[in-house]
Amino acid sequence: MAGLLSASVQDTPVAVIDLETTGLNNAFHRIIELSIVRVEPGRAPNVVLDTLVNPQRRVTATKIHGIYDADVANAPTFNELVPSVLEALSGCIVTAYNAYFDMRFLCSELEQCVDVGMPPYLCLMYLRPLLGLGTRCSLTQACQEHGVPYADAHRAASDAFASAHLWRAYEKQFGDCGISRFRDLASWGRYKFLQSLSSNPVDWQIPETAHCKLNPRASELVLPLVDPDALIGRPEFYEKPKPKRRRRPVRNRPFIAAVAGDSVFAGKTIVLTGSLESFTRPELTEKLEALGAKITSSVSKRTDVVIAGEDPGSKLEKARSLNVEVWDEPTLLERLKAPV
């Protein structure tokens, strides 16, 4: 199967996705927010789908994405969104900044509804070192390095829109690296996303485009949408922040909790040092303890992992002297999104 291998990188439309979920493991958790931005050859990025999703279970991880049970109670289910999702992905190479996380959830949801298989996709975070653009890092850092305006992390439309603009920098680098077709890129490594380039894109009829006023936090623009009905209940979600309130469980919906003992963090003794962009120290401590880790303040031979942010200080030096495993922030985020 040739898939996209013979297709021109510059002439292939791109669908940039980002999503928020009720948790980190797609075996237990569901999508609660989905945004897809299409980048047609020679045209500016366009948000074509942006919606909250009713996960048919309780919403968790609200501290990360700010979404509550009440926000998604009247949103469509993923099953109801499948035609719009397939239309938005049709004919595209799918990309995401952290594609291994996003594609795992997206395909898990699609597999419950239709038989489309894994479409070809690229991971923008892992492409950075592959193309010589920099090290693996957070989306925030990547946007800073490439001068891409970005705010409101963990809002699907904002993250997808910023990633779509990052794609422009990648396109230029493809040319500088002599990559004109996806076959050229596929030979650069053994990543799963490079192997996926032999798959065929989603084939779905796209309706006539329409225009709708959208006010994403990433930009104040009037953007063309694939379907005016795709922007479901979102303008007011972006225009003003939701007041914080207690989460109210949605009744009569199945709820399955992930078991902390199955986590990659379970039973590990971890020391935190330095500052992280994604979490405050108390937030990360609470998250890791919930996943079964033991957080201590000093490094010793009994320490399993040291998580080092900016300005780590002497703890990092001691960890290295004791041959203790050290994770930077991108590695932490990758471990947090790994299956439990």
Over residues 265-305, the pLDDT tens digits come to 888 999 999 888 778 888 888 888 888 889 998 999 999 99
pLDDT value at residue 15? 97
pLDDT value at residue 310? 84
Note the Cα 251 to chain centre separation in Å. Answer: 28
pLDDT value at residue 65? 87
Q: How far apart are CA 282 and CA 179, in angstroms?
A: 44
Burial classification of residue 224, based on how many CB atoms lie within 10 Å of its CB (0-12 exposed, 13-18 middle, 19 or more buried): middle
Residue count of the chain, please give it: 340
State the amino acid at position 181 in one-letter form: R
Nearest by Cα to 309 from 338, 331, 337 = 331
Is residue 241 pLDDT above 50, yes or no?
no
Is residue 93 pLDDT above 70, yes or no?
yes
Cβ–Cβ < 8 Å for 53, 21: no
pLDDT value at residue 116? 82
Cβ–Cβ < 8 Å for 51, 230: yes
262 pLDDT band, cuts 50/70/90, is low
Strands 294-296 and 14-21: unpaired
Give the lowest-confidence range in 127-131, 184-188, 230-234. Answer: 230-234
189 pLDDT band, cuts 50/70/90, is confident
Q: How far apart are CA 244 and CA 2, in angstroms?
A: 50
Is residue 312 pLDDT above 70, yes or no?
yes
Considering only CA atoms, give the Rg of the chain. Answer: 20
331 pLDDT band, cuts 50/70/90, is confident
Q: How far apart are CA 262 and CA 228, in angstroms?
A: 42
Q: What is the mean pLDDT of residues 313-325?
A: 90
pLDDT value at residue 229? 39
- pLDDT tens profile 40-92: 998 999 999 999 999 999 998 888 888 999 999 999 999 999 999 999 999 99
The mean of the pLDDT values for the chain is 81
216 pLDDT band, cuts 50/70/90, is very low
Strands 325-327 and 305-308: parallel
- Report the interhelical angle of 99-111 vs 124-131 (nearest 10°): 140
DSSP symbols for 80-142 = HHHHHHHHHHTT-EEEETTHHHHHHHHHHHHHTT----PPPEEEHHHHHHHHTS--S--HHHH
Give the lowest-confidence range in 106-110, 168-172, 246-250. Answer: 246-250
- pLDDT tens profile 18-32: 999 998 888 889 999
Is residue 217 pLDDT above 50, yes or no?
no
DSSP symbols for 83-100 = HHHHHHHTT-EEEETTHH
Percent of the chain with pLDDT over 70: 81
Q: How far apart are CA 272 and CA 308, in angstroms?
A: 6
Q: How far apart are CA 68 and CA 244, in angstroms?
A: 9
338 pLDDT band, cuts 50/70/90, is low
Is residue 138 pLDDT above 50, yes or no?
yes
